Each structure stands twice: as C-alpha cells, then as structure tokens.
Amino acid sequence: MGDATNIIVGTAGKAYRAEVGATFPTGPEETWGTGWTDLGFVTPDGLEEALAEERTQLDAWGEDAPVVDLAKKRTQTFKLTFRETNAYMLSLYYQVKLASMTSTPAVTTGTARKQFLAFGSGSLSDTVEIALGLDVIMSGKRHRIMIARAGVSDRESVKHNGDDSSNYGLTFTALAAPGGAQSVQHFITDVTLPA
C-alpha cells in the first residue's frame, strides 16, 4: 500500500554558493554557515537534477548475457534558472572571477553617475568553480543537496525584453571533490531506512 506522505512536491527552494572547500551544514535543518551566499530568486521551474552513467559490459564465451557490468563514469547535473542579476550570477554566467571585476562607485556631486560593475569575458583561463548548496523545500520536508565542487557546464541564452526578467539558466556539473571526499551529498528529512 502506498503512502501519500512520501510524495515530494518541491514548492520552494534556494541555491547557495561558497568557495570550494567551504564547510557544509551537518544536517538538513541547519542554517548555511559563514561563507555561503544566497544566489537569489529561482524561477518557478525549480531544480532539475539528472544522473547519467557511462557503462561497460564484458561478455564471456558461451554466455548469452554480459558477465560484468561496470560503471565507468557518473555525471550529476543540476539545472536552475535564476532571476536576479548580481555579481555572483554574472561571475558564473560569464566565467569571470570576482577578483577580475571592477566596481566603480556612484558619483553624487557635479555630474551624477550611477555605480557600475565592469569586466571582460572570453578568457578560458578564468574558470569559475564553486561549492554549491541546494535546498528543495516541500510541505515541511527538506531535501538538501551539497556539491563540494561544481562548474557551469551549460548556459541558456539571456533574453533582454519587456516580457520577462533577464534570466540566467545555468546547468552545474558536479566535479571531483578535493581530497577524495564525496562529490555530492544528500540529506532528505522524514525518509526512514528499512530495518
């Protein structure tokens, strides 16, 4: 018999970033600690998580089915579309490190001028990698996903028009974690382990 309380509906969520090597919370209900920054509003599409595998099958003489099925590679991706334009989002989208950006302050005396951020893009050596934290919140339950090291592997076009905000559709790929740690960890509340 099914149990409707086990159905997960992600009604809200948040995405956080920190420098690679940052300390993750030790439970799904704990607040994100020092060094973690909220990346801003996510569109109602929410989070799309995918796990792809490349496998190798080995056959044996006289056997009609593979005798070994090996996983060669697992790739986990996490796709979100962000609504806000902030320095962290621009850094991820354009692959420009924050240290390579310049902020020019506003001028309020004489000829007034607004503050602006300046940066160039196109350098392949300026790769941006982050620690990524994701919270999926649903009816009192929480699914927390912690990616020790992630890079942006795909970007959607940014549209600038009067019909919608200028959104940043980013797909993050989980990369090998520093020091051989788990690359992706999950915490999911109210799911019991069978005896």
Q: What is the pLDDT of residues 148-183, one digit of tens each?
A: 999 999 999 999 999 999 999 999 999 999 887 889
Tell me which residue range forms the domain holding 16. Answer: 12-26+35-105+116-188
pLDDT at residue 122 tops 80: no
Which of the four pLDDT bands, split at 50, 70 and 90, describes residue 4? confident
pLDDT for res 74: 87
**Strands, DSSP E only, in 31-115?**
37-38, 48-58, 68-82, 102-104
Tell me what pLDDT residue 121 has: 84
DSSP H or E run through 91 = helix 87-94
Q: What is the count of structural domains for the chain? A: 1
Whether 51 is in a domain gets the answer yes
Q: Are strands 48-58 and 37-38 parallel, antiparallel or unpaired?
A: unpaired
* Whether 171 contacts 77, CB under 8 Å: yes
Does the residue 2 lie in any domain?
A: no
- Residue 6 forms part of a structural domain: no
Residues 6+ apart with CB under 8 A from 70: 55, 56, 57, 58
Tell me, yes or no, whether 111 lies in a domain: no
Give the DSSP H or E segment for 12: strand 12-18
Phi, psi of 94 (to 5 degrees): -90, 0
The CATH number of residue 20's host domain is: 4.10.410
Q: Per the domain annotation, does 128 fall within a domain?
A: yes
Query: Is residue 86 situated within a structural domain?
Result: yes
Residue 195 included in any domain: no
Residue 182 lies in a domain: yes
